[in-house]
Amino acid sequence: MTRVIKYVFYDILRTRFILLYTILLLVSTFALFQLDSDSGKVVMSLLNIVLMVVPLVSIVFTTIHFYNSYEFIELMLAQPVNRKVVFIGEYLAVTFSLCMAFAVGIGLPMVFYGISASGLALLFNGMVLTMVFVSLAFLAAVLTRDKAKAIGIALLFWFYFSLIYDGFLLWFVYSFSDYPLEKLTLTLIALNPVDLARVIMLLQLDISALMGYTGAFYREFFGSSFGILFSTFILFLWVTIPFLISLRIFSKKDL
């Protein structure tokens, strides 16, 4: 396993994309800290990056990487190496490099300018979101043999969770606003990892008051230790379930 991880990791470093991604995050975080001295506001601005850019970069990079290492996977599978080990090794190497890039890119400036609780929460959520979208990308990659199709599916995942789902949720809440919807919207939010991360962060930043009565309800739920545990658990389900499905498909795939 470690040998497979090592070779995949070398391969990722050689493309230099990860380095570019780290620098991009570093520069934007430093710039935001320069513009504003209030760390809460900086975290708020960073939140938009985390919720839009991180999933997009993770899912597209992972899908392209998977197809670029198809030859490596093929080569390994003709050797005395377990299929699952190859797949898990690929997954861990990609997740690790993307998480490291994110942690260094956002974390380093934070350490430099003083770290806060909301900053830590942002780091944590960003990393979990990276893992979620790497899992989804692996799922997209094993669903089809065609690279272009797989990138299409991956982008569809991103559009769905970042844009389409929110639109649907807004429409739903607006049309049924006469009914008590708190519990239902809570469930609906759990069905989208991006929304889940957003709500956790907004509550961390203590601006839930802006959300009125619903905000107060969420605060009561997510603010409690049970709520935090629950939402973290759901986020990790978003990491493991797509991963396990793709592992299952991959172990029966013809090469």
Partner 1 sequence: MISIRKVNKNFGKLSALKNVDLDLSMSRSYALVGPNGSGKTTLIKSILGLVIPSSGEITFANKSIASDWKYRESIGYMPQIGRYPENMTIGQLIDMMKNIRKNATELDDSLIEAFKLYKIYDKRMHALSGGTRQKVSAALAFLFHPPVLILDEPTAGLDPISVEILKEKILEERNRGKLLIISSHILSDLDELTTEMIYIFEGKVQYNNTIQALKEETQEKKLGKAIATMIGQKQLMDSINK
**Strand, coil or helix: 133:** helix
| Token pair of 233 as six digits | 């658990």
Q: How far is the CB of 145 from partner 1 (least distance, A)?
A: 11
Q: How far is the CB of 59 from partner 1 (least distance, A)?
A: 23
Whether 42 and 33 have beta carbons less than 8 Å apart is answered as: yes
Torsional class of 115: left (φ above 0), alpha (ψ -120 to 50), beta (otherwise): beta
User: What number of other Cβ atoms are within 10 A of residue 73's Cβ?
Assistant: 21
Q: How far is the CB of 100 from partner 1 (least distance, A)?
A: 21
**C-beta closer to partner 1: residue 79 or 177:** 79
**C-beta closer to partner 1: residue 56 or 92:** 92
**Strand, coil or helix: 179:** coil
Q: How far is the CB of 47 from partner 1 (least distance, A)?
A: 36
Would you tell me which residues interact with partner 1 (CB under 8 A)?
3, 7, 11, 14, 69-72, 74-83, 252-255
**C-beta closer to partner 1: residue 77 or 216:** 77
Whether 203 and 219 have beta carbons less than 8 Å apart is answered as: yes
Give the angle subtended at the CA of 62 by the CAs of 144 and 160, to the nearest 5°.
70
The distance from CA 250 to its chain's CA centroid, rounded to whole angstroms, is: 22
CA distances from 54 to 46, 105, 111 (A): 11, 11, 20
Q: How far is the CB of 215 from partner 1 (least distance, A)?
A: 51
CA distances from 183 to 58, 173, 211 (A): 31, 12, 15
Q: How far is the CB of 54 from partner 1 (least distance, A)?
A: 26
**C-beta closer to partner 1: residue 7 or 113:** 7
Q: How far is the CB of 13 from partner 1 (least distance, A)?
A: 11
**C-beta closer to partner 1: residue 8 or 46:** 8
CA distances from 14 to 8, 11, 19, 58, 61 (A): 10, 5, 10, 17, 14
Helix H or strand E segment including 139: helix 117-143
**C-beta closer to partner 1: residue 11 or 166:** 11
**C-beta closer to partner 1: residue 72 or 160:** 72
